[in-house]
Amino acid sequence: MTLPTYYLSHGGGPWPWMPQAAPTYAVLGASLKALRRELDEAPRAVLVVTAHWETEDFAFSAAESPGMIYDYSGFPPETYEIVYPAPGLPALAEQAAGLLRGGGMAASTDARRGFDHGTFSLMQAIWPAAQLPVVQMSIRRDYDPALHLAAGRLLAPLRDAGVAIIGSGLSFHNLRAMGTQGRQASAAFDGWLQRSLIGKQGPARDEALLHWEQAPAARLVHPREDHLMPLHVAVGAAADAPGSLAYHQNDFFGAITASSFRFGTAPVPQ
């Protein structure tokens, strides 16, 4: 069974642990629960490409029992004590790094890296039981779109080995424009994303992502492309699997248009 890949919004900070955030994240949360249902028991592990871990070359977390990295500020005190107790899988980290090295890319493993909120908030929303082993993959701090696409292509064999590859970011990531000031820019960029990804596959899709800065409002939506690069890895790993919409909302935080995407066919009916 070949698993699909995903590019998913992980939301803001530790939102799944905050009851007061439930109205804001109702639509996103429902989409992530639907993902758990559609994957059912298919994955044996999850590889999360997280926007919140940047390294010179690609790296993979290899702790057997990863700790927590509370990489946010201004949240309630109790959110700095939360734990997502999923195990790591050092063998998968080594396998993934080996696939990149086999393709001529530098890659390493990190036995000290804990879960950042790009991983634990997303995973808590999808698999709150924390039953699946999780390995994190960093993005390169040069944000090279071609290299992120190429890395994804090298990781594609993991899809046939029961590994769900999830790019964790956000299709709109300009924290200074999260209200009405981001309405038009987010809608314009999201429209480009959907035209470039839904039903599209192969070289034409890759070409669009290579030149993402030419998209409408691109730099207003992503002043830094850290939250976009996980998409490139997910698309690279998808090979020729067509894209589809996994989540869409045009009133996130009251005004923002945001989407998540699936590449490939879910293993069970939704």
Given this model, what pLDDT does residue 1 score?
84
Q: Is residue 2 packed enough to be buried (19+ CB in 10 Å), middle (13-18) or exposed (0-12)?
A: middle
Tokens, residue 196 = 């470039």
Structure-token pair, residue 26: 């109702």
Contacts of 5 (CB under 8 A, 6+ apart): 152, 159, 164, 165, 166, 167, 234, 235, 237, 238, 241, 262, 263, 264
85-125 confidence digits (pLDDT tens): 999 999 999 999 999 999 999 999 999 999 999 999 999 99
Residue 11 has pLDDT above 80, yes or no: yes
Q: What is the pLDDT of residue 136?
A: 98
Residue of 163, 161, 186 whose CA lies nearest to 234: 163
Q: Average pLDDT of the chain?
A: 95
Give the residue from 35, 28, 20, 59 showing the smallest Cα distance to 262.
35
E strand segments, 148-266: 163-169, 243-252, 256-263
Task: Tell me which H or E stretch contains 61.
Answer: strand 58-61
| Rounded (5°) CA angle 270-30-117 | 115
pLDDT in tens, 165-224: 999 999 999 978 788 889 999 999 999 999 999 998 889 999 999 999 999 999 999 999
Check residue 270 and give its pLDDT. Answer: 43
Please give the Cα distance from 189 to 221 (Å, whole number). Answer: 7
Cross-strand partners of 247? 260
43, pLDDT greater than 90: yes
CATH architecture of the domain formed by 5-261? 3-Layer(aba) Sandwich (3.40)
- What angle do helix axes 26-39 and 117-126 make, rounded to 10 degrees? 70
Q: Residue 268: what pLDDT?
A: 60
**pLDDT exceeds 60 at position 68:** yes
Q: What span, in angstroms and rounded, lies between the C-alpha atoms of 231 and 233?
A: 5
